[in-house]
Structure 1
Amino acid sequence: MSMPLRILGLLGLILRGILTTALVLPWCSRARRRRLICHWSRRLLQYLRLTIQVQGAWPDSPGPYLLTSNHISWVDIFVIHSVHPVRFISKSEVRHWPIFGWLAARTGTLFLSRSSRRQTLEIGKAMTQVLQAGDDLGFFPESTTSDGTSILPFKTSLLQSPLDCQATLLPIALRYSVPPGHSESAYPFIGDMTFMESLVRVLKSPPSQVSLSLGTPHKALELGTDRRQLALQLHLLTQQLRESM
């Protein structure tokens, strides 16, 4: 598909997403909501020419799960949604991204201002409420994106809530391939890059592949009795998943 046709298709998909989010999702059952988000995300990956390879399977038990992952790109969220949609915790800046920020807000994203300790405590309470309501929730413990060649240390700020409510954690790992003949992937969203700069870079990139490895669920207290222990164990599990790809 040529670039102009891909852009037209992407604009049509975005319009469909806006209409579905505004007019359909508020009245959906949880199961139908997940199906719609999953289908939309898979179509987005197709327009980005990104193929996903999944290692492992989503757990059979109903959850809810608190999913943790390494973080490379804004595309990570849609990669995860294409396998199993979850609500996410994102940095507050995402709310102001064109269109995608609005979509994130309307699909239940919790926005965190990392400069506010008070809001971190409020997000912790919201995490517990989301899980107690039966919704799966996801976040990126690195608290920022990396270039994908390694996993940054996991922050502890959001790990008290899963300990307090004895959440079931589901670690996963992501890795974007480097297309043949290229020195790097177009997907890392790092440095001073803006969202629009990253989107253009991704659209211009050759067809690529992302691998997603699903780990084994663990109760938070099985991995650590405090935030530091939990962060170290989650980091180790994520690193092992990444190395298994």
Structure 2
Amino acid sequence: MILALRIARLVVHLLSGMLICALFFPWIDRESREIHIRRWSRHLLAICNVHVQITSGSAVPRAQALVVANHVSWLDIFVLNALYPCRFVAKAEIRAWPLAGWLVEQAGTVFIARGSRRDLRRAFEGLVGALKSGERVAFFPEGTTAPQGTLLPFHANLFEAAVDAKSRVQPYAIRYIDHQRKPHPAVDFVGDMTFVQSVLAILSGKAIHARVTILRSMKAEGANRRDLAERSYQAIREALGIPAPAAEPQADGQPEGDEDPDNAQAQQA
């Protein structure tokens, strides 16, 4: 009964979000859209019984920044948007999520198809333009989700957007715990699990506590994208309490396995 009620509330909330995007987003300014996105994301998390807590700092930094975070679940997007809305770069598969995929697209998400240099270039140009206009943009440099307690090597190419825009890089560390402060078993979105299966697991489970650690931001102007990726990786790894890997991560490459990383600037400019 409780699960059925949560599912019904979620469907109604998704449909209301689609209505808002279709009727109001084309006519309102960016600030108003961000207010709607923040409120809608917070309501979504409440329906999913997710409670967000910032574990460092008393306020969310609102300055122009390239936000990077570890990637555990589809919840990550809405957790970050509940704090302060960002324009996201995400893998193209997200567009196929029932209802939610359309919503995140309307919120300004830029999608990258696996192995597509054209998509990567388009995403890069969009990131630079958004940063220069004062927006906060975000991506998950692991390129895919990973189980809690694991941090995959960071792809470095999109860090170049912060360099070109003379912006800052703002790392966030996200973890999801249960009432015993252990990794919540319902949150990991990995392997062959579908989006619907993940949603049902979360709606069926107990309360989820999303802990977001806001780490020290980094000046990108004059920096190297690989260095920014490596520093972000180490900061997030330490915040999550993950042991250092036996070999340092190769912090380069393009999301989802794109090749020819050394030609990133030529491809992206």
TM-score where L is the length of structure 2: 0.83
Task: Give secondary structure in 2 for the equivalent of 1:13.
Answer: helix
Equivalent in the alignment of 1:125: 125
CA distance in 1, matches of 2:125, 2:181: 47
Partners of 1:128 and 1:47 in 2: CA distance: 34
Q: Displacement of 1:58 after TM fit?
A: 1.5
Mapped pair 1:236 → 2:234: yes
Instruction: Indicate how the Cα distance of structure 1 residues 116 and 24 shifts in structure 2: closer, same or farther if over 3 A, else same.
Output: same
The match for 1:79 is 79
Q: Which residue identity is paired with 1:121? A: R
Distance 2:208 2:36 in 1: 24
Q: Give, in whole Å, the separation in 2 of the partners of 1:184 and 1:16.
A: 29
In the TM superposition, 1:183-198 aligns within 5 A as 184-198=184-198
SS class of match (2:120): helix
Aligned residue pair count: 240
Mapped to 1, the partners of 2:18 and 2:91 lie a distance apart of 21
Alpha-carbon separation, structure 1, partners of 2:174 and 2:180: 19
Q: Percent identity?
A: 35
Structure 2 unaligned spans of 5+? 243-269
Alignment partner, residue 200 of structure 2 = 200
Please provide the CA RMSD for this pair: 2.1
Partner Cα separation in structure 2 for residue 235 and residue 182 of structure 1: 22
* 1:102-148 deviations in Å (ceiling 9; x for gaps): 10111110001231123212221111111122221000011111111
1:157-203 CA distances to partner (integer Å, 9 max, x unpaired)?
A: 22222222222111111001145498852111101111111111111
The amino acid of 1:227's aligned partner reads: R
Q: Which stretch shifts more, 35-44 or 110-119?
A: 110-119
Given candidates 57, 60, 65, the residue that maps to 1:58 is 60
Give the CA deviation at 1:229.
1.4
Query: How far is the alpha carbon of 1:31 from its aligned partner?
Result: 2.1
SS of equivalent residue, structure 2 residue 138? strand
Say if 1:114 and 1:120, in contact at 8 Å, map to a contact too: no
Q: Secondary structure at the match of 1:185?
A: coil
Q: Kindly provide the CA deviation profile for residues 67-98 of structure 1, in whole angstroms up to 9, marking residues without a partner as x.
A: 11000000100011111111100101111211
- Give the drift of 1:5: 2.0
**Contact 2:37–2:81, Cα closer than 8 Å, also in 1:** yes
* Structure 2 Cα separation of the partners of residues 123 and 29 of structure 1: 22
Supply the distance in 2 between the matched residues of 1:127 and 1:58 (Cα, whole angstroms). 21
Which residue does the alignment assign to 2:96? Answer: 96
- Secondary structure of 1:211's counterpart equals strand
Distance 2:156 2:191 in 1: 23
Q: Secondary structure at the match of 1:159?
A: helix
Query: Using a 3 Å threshold, how does the CA distance of structure 1 residues 36 and 183 change in structure 2: closer, same or farther?
Result: closer
Corresponding residue for 1:135? 135
Structure 2 Cα separation of the partners of residues 219 and 182 of structure 1: 34
SS in 1 for 2:19: helix
